[in-house]
A and B are shown apart, each in its own frame.
Chain A
Amino acid sequence: MSAEPTPAIEVRGLSCSYEDVPVLENVSFCVRPAEIFFIIGGSGCGKTTLLRNLVGLEKPTQGKVLFKGRSFTDADPAERREMLRTFGMLFQSGALWTSLTLSENIGLPLEEYTDLPGDEIREIAAFKLGQVGLSGFEQHYPSEISGGMQKRAGLARALALDPGIVFFDEPSAGLDPVTARNLDVLITQVRDTFGTTIVVVSHDVDSIFGIADRVIMLDRSKRGVIAEGTPTELARAGANPKAVEFLTRRSVRPV
């Protein structure tokens, strides 16, 4: 591994805080192109916070985020918008725009970034909805479909602009096991088809072992990364005890 390709995402010494309360300190890691990268850790350890800092929803107090070697943190607004175009994000709640139909939800990014005519946008929206198994729901409003369907529609929206990187915040939270596995299959398909880099925040152990290429584990008391590697590496005895405990769902420390 002498000639490492430029990482798709490089995080250097990132620190995040809310008001004056630090959540993460000096976090550094790299995500390789076309990798399914998982960020795991217990509740409240700062996974969502890290994700929000990566996509620029919060401003890091220190450190940098680089995408394909270009700094996102210091980018000027035009450059930033151009980089945002290449991101897709699936929020924990789906975050569909409630006043728009599913078709309009998926069409909006296309309307914003392309000059395609309306009928073509509608066709693309229907196609993307079909990809996530929601054909026929184009004219439904988000409130008229179930939580799992909202997540899938959110995924279709995240994929609308054929992004280079897709971020997922707890995709399987609140879904039944079957739907959650289907979502995993979809994620893998996207990666395999388009070579998309995928960053997933999750604490679903089945997903981690099912689809993750590499994993970092955050810890609340350390305010940073405590383990990094493939899921099997982290679950092996001798790795960080907290990671082993998390991944094997077995307590290795005295309670």
Chain B
Amino acid sequence: MPETLELAPARATARAAEGSLQVDIGGSWRLQDPSPRWHALLGPEKPASVRLASPEVGSWDTSLVVFVGEALVWSRESGIPCDVSALPDKLVGLARQFEGSMQSTERIAHAQSLVVDVGISTRHALRQARGFLQFVGECWIDSTRFVLGKARFRWGDCLLEMQKCGAMALPIVSLISFLVGVTLAYSGSIVLKRFGGEIWVADLIGVAMTREMGALMAAVVLSGRTGAAFAAEIGSMKANEEIDALSVLGISSVRFLVLPRVLALGLMMPLLAMYANCLGILGGMAVAFGTLDIPPAAYWVEMLTIVDMSDVTVGMIKAVAFGLIVGLSGCLRGLQAERNASGVGRAATSAVVTAILLIIVADAVFAVLFHALGL
């Protein structure tokens, strides 16, 4: 083959000859270079027949197969005969395969009209809501079975989870709640200084930590640390057919996997929140001593004038609820995960998002509730 043909760009020229269209293909056809498209070649008027020839084609690859294949598809759809006998046999064979693959591609609609999309999303949302309710129902049934002594509870797993979500979370909970105490003390003192009431920093931090921030910070840390881990663990068990193996044995995955984890969080969260309260108060105390010259003893006495058992109780009730929320959303997202690696990642992400969302909502509900109860 002459050198010039190898280097010449791909071209296809159409010329009319007695009502039929003669298309000459030439040059070298490579996927990475621009090449003509069949449909761009056709003029406005329909020819009676088409004939393809390749008098001076150089090297070619799939781009030429697509060109000829599109011609064949067009010919089949428009009913205009297309003569390819002048083309190399190898090329025609591949082009016929291309035509075949165009015919047999099942159209899976991934993008559709707005109405269809809205319909699909609505159905999806309904299914999600149903899945959530079903999950909560299953948890309820399985935990009553356990309370009534009809089903065994996996205490060993529960203890292990308690260790993982409780004891091992202490360092990060310490750091975060101490710093929250510090931050609150600094920003509180800006306002309180104006009234000459720096000592009230103790009240501010005492109330804020015990009623709100202790439980909230512990919950946020655990949703990122433990909730996501639950979702990833359970999601990868699902991808690995381990959940199916449980179902085939008639073992409820809720009882086996969910209850020990949720209970572990429900038990550990109040302890962690209590610990967070202490560390937050300590942080506030440090700032008060360092920058406001309030001795720790005075700080402590001042704090006890406002913080009482009801504040601590409010915080603990919230902590239990947050623990259950984190545990349930982690496990639910894990069980809903798609059966592949990226499904596991998405499950972990959505577990954190769901947990934090529900925690904030629950916190608001509690605020209204406790206000109404006068707590």
B247 cross-chain contacts in A, Cβ below 8 A = 56-57
A57 cross-chain contacts in B, Cβ below 8 A = 244, 247-248
> Contact partner of A93 among B152, B241, B248, B250, CB < 8 A?
B241
How many Å from the CB of B228 to the closest CB on chain A? 17
Q: Is the CB of B249 within 8 A of A95?
A: no
How many Å from the CB of A2 to the closest CB on chain B? 35
Q: Is the CB of A80 within 8 A of B245?
A: no
A57 to B249, CA, bound (A): 11
The answer, yes or no, to whether A85 is at the interface (CB within 8 Å) is yes
The answer, yes or no, to whether B237 is at the interface (CB within 8 Å) is yes
A56 to B250, CA, bound (A): 10
Contact residues of A between 64 and 112, Cβ < 8 Å to B: 80-81, 84-85, 87, 89, 91-93, 95-98, 108-109, 111-112
A89 to B277, CA, bound (A): 50
- Nearest B residue to A92, CB-CB: B241
Q: Is the CB of B241 within 8 A of A84?
A: no
Q: Is the CB of B244 within 8 A of A95?
A: yes
Q: Is the CB of B248 within 8 A of A55?
A: yes
A97 cross-chain contacts in B, Cβ below 8 A = 237, 242, 245
Interface residues on A, range: 20 to 34
Contact residues of B between 233 and 260, Cβ < 8 Å to A: 237, 240-242, 244-245, 247-251
- Nearest A residue to B236, CB-CB: A98
A93 to B242, CA, bound (A): 9
- Nearest B residue to A90, CB-CB: B245
How many Å from the CB of B326 to the closest CB on chain A? 20
A92 cross-chain contacts in B, Cβ below 8 A = 241
- Nearest B residue to A111, CB-CB: B152
Q: Is the CB of A89 within 8 A of B250?
A: no
Take A96-B242, A97-B242 as given contacts and tell me if A109 and B249 are in contact as well, using a CB distance cutoff of 8 Å: yes
> Contact partner of B250 among A52, A81, A91, A157, CB < 8 A?
A81
- Nearest B residue to A161, CB-CB: B249
Contact residues of B between 192 and 240, Cβ < 8 Å to A: 237, 240
Q: Is the CB of A84 within 8 A of B248?
A: yes
A93 to B237, CA, bound (A): 12
B242 cross-chain contacts in A, Cβ below 8 A = 95-98
> Contact partner of B245 among A81, A91, A111, CB < 8 A?
A91
Q: Is the CB of A84 within 8 A of B244?
A: no
Contact with A along B266-283 (1 / 0, CB 8 A): 000000000000000000
- Nearest B residue to A52, CB-CB: B244
Contact with A along B48-88 (1 / 0, CB 8 A): 00000000000000000000000000000000000000000
A84 to B247, CA, bound (A): 9
Interface centre among B152, B241, B249 (most CB of A within 10 A): B249
Q: Is the CB of A112 within 8 A of B245?
A: no
A89 to B240, CA, bound (A): 14
Q: Is the CB of B245 within 8 A of A89?
A: yes
A81 to B237, CA, bound (A): 22
B241 cross-chain contacts in A, Cβ below 8 A = 91-93, 95
> Contact partner of A112 among B237, B244, B249, CB < 8 A?
B249
Q: Is the CB of B240 within 8 A of A93?
A: yes
> Contact partner of A80 among B152, B240, B244, B250, CB < 8 A?
B250
How many Å from the CB of A70 to the closest CB on chain B? 15
A85 cross-chain contacts in B, Cβ below 8 A = 249-250
A92 to B242, CA, bound (A): 11
Q: Is the CB of A91 within 8 A of B249?
A: no
Contact residues of B between 129 and 173, Cβ < 8 Å to A: 152
A97 to B242, CA, bound (A): 6
Interface centre among B152, B237, B241, B245 (most CB of A within 10 A): B245
A87 cross-chain contacts in B, Cβ below 8 A = 248
A98 to B251, CA, bound (A): 16
How many Å from the CB of B230 to the closest CB on chain A? 13
How many Å from the CB of A23 to the closest CB on chain B? 13
Contact with A along B104-134 (1 / 0, CB 8 A): 0000000000000000000000000000000
A55 cross-chain contacts in B, Cβ below 8 A = 248
How many Å from the CB of B128 to the closest CB on chain A? 14
How many Å from the CB of B337 to the closest CB on chain A? 15
> Contact partner of A95 among B152, B240, B250, B251, CB < 8 A?
B240
B240 cross-chain contacts in A, Cβ below 8 A = 93, 95, 98
Q: Is the CB of A98 within 8 A of B237?
A: yes
- Nearest B residue to A80, CB-CB: B250
How many Å from the CB of B6 to the closest CB on chain A? 32
Q: Which A residues have a C-beta under 8 Å from some C-beta of B?
A: 52, 55-57, 80-81, 84-85, 87, 89, 91-93, 95-98, 108-109, 111-112, 157
Top 3 A-B residue pairs of the complex, sorted by shortest distance between their CB atoms: A84-B250, A95-B241, A81-B250
Q: Which B residues have a C-beta under 8 Å from some C-beta of A?
A: 152, 237, 240-242, 244-245, 247-251
**Beyond the given A81-B250, A98-B240, could you list 20 further A-B residue pairs with CB under 8 A, ordered by the A residue number?**
A55-B248, A57-B248, A80-B250, A85-B249, A85-B250, A87-B248, A91-B241, A91-B244, A92-B241, A95-B240, A95-B241, A95-B244, A95-B245, A97-B242, A97-B245, A108-B251, A111-B152, A112-B250, A112-B251, A157-B245
23 A-B interface contacts by CB (under 8 A): A52-B244, A56-B248, A57-B247, A80-B250, A81-B250, A84-B249, A84-B250, A85-B249, A85-B250, A91-B241, A95-B240, A96-B242, A96-B245, A97-B245, A98-B237, A98-B240, A98-B242, A108-B251, A109-B249, A111-B152, A112-B152, A112-B250, A112-B251
